[in-house]
Amino acid sequence: MGEVLCISVACGACCGGTGRAISASCPGTPSVSEENHTPELTDFSDVPCPVRALPPQWYHTVQVRRIRSLRARSNSDPLQGKNLGQGLQWQRKGLPFGNASSYLNLEKLGEGSYATVYKGISRINGQLVALKVISMKAEEGVPFTAIREASLLKGLKHANVVLLHDIIQTKETLTFVFEYVHTDLSQYMAQHPGGLLPYNVRLFMFQLLRGLAYIHHQHILHRDLKPQNLLISYLGELKLADFGLARAKSIPSQTYSSEVVTLWYRPPDVLLGATDYSADLDIWGAGCIFIEMLQGYPAFSGVTDVFEQLEKIWSVIGTPTEDSWPGVSLLPHYKTEWLTLYESQPFGSIWDRLARVMGAENLAQKMLKGCPRERISAEDALLHKFFSTLPCQIHQLTDVRSIFTVPGLSLKPEMRDLFFSHQKGSHHKPW
Amino acid sequence: MKFTGLLESHRLAAMLENSLDTEARKWKAPSFQGSTIKGTDISPMQYEQAVVWLEKLRSIFHFYPDTFFLAVTILNRMLASVKAQVKYLRCITVACLYLAAKTNEEREVIPLVKDLVEQSKCMCSSAEILRMERLILDKLQWDLYMATPMDFLNTFHAMVMSNSPSLFHDHLQINPSRHVALLTRQVQHCTACHQLLQFRGSTLALVIMTLELELMTADWFPVSSDLLTKAKIEHADFICCKETVESNLETLAPSNTVYLFISTSKDVRSRNTAIPACPTEGIPSNPLTVVSQKIDPPIGNTLASSIRSGLGNLIEADDEFDLGEISTMKMAKANRKNFS
């Protein structure tokens, strides 16, 4: 404790105590050096420090997606097992947000098309964070995905939406600091092959729909739902992440790009070229993920082009007609002659585990309607009988409260975890 | 634009609530002190030119009108937060549009910076725009989403349609989406008036909607005051804004060039070839030509009100006559359809 005090006093003495003075007295820090190197900035009397005004509640925990190969590396966490005294050497009071030196990189978690994600730790409060380092391109500046993600997440505060803590700008790079969440649904399913425990599926699905109901209420479409973009904390909290393709939606609607959502999770209306979709777009993806969680493999997978994908969907829900889906024949890629005319099938006969869980088949069928207007809304789906076994307090939570604050609710160990001793000692209680 | 029947009134109320909340948190506009924007050397005229230029750029790049409105809100917030010099105004303006496009437009429509520089003739370099882009993001703390006057107008319009459908049915000879497009155009004119800068988007949109209702029906008052209550707008603000808008729209026609479009322009036809009529609007994409003329005040006033009513005799008489700006919007939209 004495050490902490010394550090903060020393820091206070050299830095003047205020956020502004700190950044001014640390010319080596990237954000400041940018100001010095950008001639225009000196012409504006009040040069901004973007994060100074961030409220303290922005700093909590973190999470991000990681690549599969690096997955089971929790033992490599260099901070594990270190005692508090060692922690004090790197943790400082009074470090500013928005400053690269406030975070330490620990390990690389994954690489995406426009960003690399690292696990990191905040020197401000010692919390684990996910650092998404975004590369800037000379021909287009800040990627539009980064702009959307940041400006959308700024307005979203919900237990089932990933939290953006901080944004760090330097001359060459841009770093988003997220709460650290230890895995994602894709990895979770890979670790527990053969389908997840129906009880856990219910908890994940409820959280997914709760997150969707929230963003849809804010008139935001996610547009890229897939298991990799659903983060799972070790408590079982599910969080929507990767809002790079998301967008706000107004009335009357513009038309949108039909090149959204990974093929396997793309609804048939969008596959047919519809551009006037709405929240129903995300519901289809959520329905596919629902089946994948229960069944253990993707609902409509293995295809490489739009028409194969459509065939696959028709083989389950039936080839659409003007009667079953008014307006379908007007969609750009609609063909009057499909190769095969399929009859719709009961979902339970295709995905057997759906039939074995009360309400699951019915919910899946309501989410996977061909005609987008008939698809159930996230809000209504939360009230579906599939969730009727959950305690009713779960519907009364405020936005930022996790469902696991409801007494008695917790993730159950998956079958595989019960058989393998390496999970012993985790928080899971045997049932 | 698309109307899928009547939207439930509670959903619209929730939407309005949401937009009002966003506006309350983020709305900022520069204020004028003496002959310039406070703390800068930008004159009201230069500000207005910047907004008019934004609209011109929007149509060059075939962006949606939403993008224009978003760009204006970003510009206003920026000018209210920094002491910008007039020599940077073009760079700020074009960077605001670029950010609005990145926020609102789909990937395939967002231009590369070099194309932006070339086609906008903004006389600043790519590097300058990119630096300005980051400066704006920094200054606005990356929080670009904003409820624009257009969002409010659409919500108010949908609310009136949903609550009093007969009003539209009895008094309107054009379809609702075209009607709202005409009103949007009026809001657009107003955003370029520096005198209206002090009013929030919600107030301005409600004023335009009210002026329109006044022309449509004698029973406009209860409809308008209902919206006023729902939007929680101060009466004094509303009245002051309404007077300013009225005087601006009245001077609009006589003092400005009035654009009438007459069919068969080769110029426009060439732009319009291979473009199908916009299916969602049902407006024929007639090739139109521009005739500009100065109009004497009395006629001008009639025109102003016909612009305001959205369907003056001129437009009613012949579908081939239209307000130019609307068809530009329409074409931009049709062009975009083609894109995708």
Residue A333: partners with Cβ closer than 8 Å, 6 or more residues away: A271, A272, A273, A306
In the beta sheet, which residues pair with residue B288?
B263
The verdict on A36 touching B (C-beta cutoff 8 Å) is no
- Most A CBs within 10 Å: which of B2, B102, B108, B338, as the mutation test of the A interface? B102
- The count of C-alpha atoms lying within 13 angstroms of the C-alpha of A171, restricted to the half-sphere facing its C-beta, is 13
CA separation for the pair A178, A191 (Å, rounded): 24
CB distance A336 to A309 below 8 Å: no
Same domain, A143 and A192: no
* Distance in Å, alpha carbon of A150 to nearest chain B alpha carbon: 6
Range of the domain at A70: 48-179
Same domain, A187 and A170: no
A415 within some domain: no
Name the one residue in this structure whose structure tokens are 């973007």: A50
Check residue A252 and give its pLDDT.
56
Final residue in a domain of this structure, among A179, A195, A211: A179
Per-run averaged pLDDT (10 residues), chain B, 340 residues: 52 89 91 85 92 95 94 95 91 96 91 91 91 94 92 91 78 79 91 91 94 87 91 92 86 44 40 36 35 37 40 33 38 42
A62 within some domain: yes
The pair of structure tokens assigned to A346 is 């009961």
Per-residue model confidence as pLDDT tens digits over B83-119: 888 999 999 999 999 999 999 998 889 999 999 999 9
Same domain, A188 and A164: no
CA separation for the pair B1, A397 (Å, rounded): 37
The pair of structure tokens assigned to B54 is 């934004």
Out of A43, A48, A275, the one facing B138 most closely (by C-beta) is A48
Along the 431 residues of chain A, how does pLDDT read in single tens digits? 333 333 333 333 333 333 333 333 333 333 333 333 333 333 433 434 344 443 433 333 333 333 333 333 333 333 443 444 444 455 666 677 778 788 888 899 888 777 899 999 998 888 999 999 998 877 888 999 999 999 999 889 999 999 999 999 888 889 999 999 999 999 999 999 999 999 999 999 999 999 999 999 988 999 999 999 999 999 999 999 999 999 888 665 567 777 778 889 999 999 999 888 889 999 999 999 999 999 999 999 877 888 889 989 999 999 998 899 999 989 998 887 766 788 999 999 999 999 999 999 999 999 999 999 999 999 999 999 999 999 999 999 999 999 999 998 999 988 877 776 554 444 444 33
CB distance A254 to A191 below 8 Å: no
Same domain, A295 and A368: yes
A7 within some domain: no
Same domain, A175 and A187: no
Out of A40, A152, A154, the one facing B88 most closely (by C-beta) is A40
Catalytic-residue membership of A224: yes
Same domain, A101 and A168: yes
Out of A138, A142, A151, the one facing B133 most closely (by C-beta) is A142
CB pairs under 8 A between A and B: 130
Quote the number of domains for chain A: 2
A43 within some domain: no
Check residue B165 and give its pLDDT.
78
Final residue in a domain of this structure, among A179, A207, A238: A179
* Chain B residues near residue A33 by CB distance under 8 angstroms: none
Cα torsion B16, B19, B24, B27: sign:
negative
Same domain, A172 and A219: no
Angle at B77 (CA atoms; ends B74, B83), nearest 5 degrees: 120
CATH number, position A280: 1.10.510.10
A132 is in an annotated binding site: yes
Region at A296 (left for phi over 0; alpha for psi -120 to 50; beta for the rest): left
Residue burial B216-236, b: 16+ Cβ < 10 Å; e: rest = bbeebeebbeebbebbebeee
Name the one residue in this structure whose structure tokens are 């190197």: A37
The complex's ipTM works out to 0.74
Same domain, A223 and A279: yes
A37 within some domain: no
Q: Which of A201, A219, A88 is nearest to A155 (CA)?
A: A219
The pair of structure tokens assigned to B59 is 């149509």
CATH number, position A159: 3.30.200.20
A67 within some domain: yes
Task: Test A248 with B280 for CB contact under 8 angstroms.
Answer: no
The verdict on A389 touching B (C-beta cutoff 8 Å) is no
Tell me which H or E stretch contains A34.
helix A30-37
3-state secondary structure of A104: strand
Task: Test A46 with B83 for CB contact under 8 angstroms.
Answer: yes
CA separation for the pair A406, A422 (Å, rounded): 28
CA separation for the pair A101, A123 (Å, rounded): 8
Q: Which of B212, B305, B213, B215 is nearest to B258 (CA)?
A: B305
Same domain, A136 and A188: no
CA separation for the pair B97, B172 (Å, rounded): 34
Same domain, A221 and A359: yes
A381 within some domain: yes
Final residue in a domain of this structure, among A110, A145, A179: A179
Check residue B205 and give its pLDDT.
95
The verdict on A326 touching B (C-beta cutoff 8 Å) is no
Same domain, A233 and A103: no
Out of B3, B18, B112, the one facing A252 most closely (by C-beta) is B3
CA separation for the pair A208, A212 (Å, rounded): 6
Task: Test B132 with A258 for CB contact under 8 angstroms.
Answer: no
Same domain, A400 and A255: yes
Task: Test A276 with B2 for CB contact under 8 angstroms.
Answer: yes
A86 within some domain: yes
Task: Test B128 with A219 for CB contact under 8 angstroms.
Answer: no
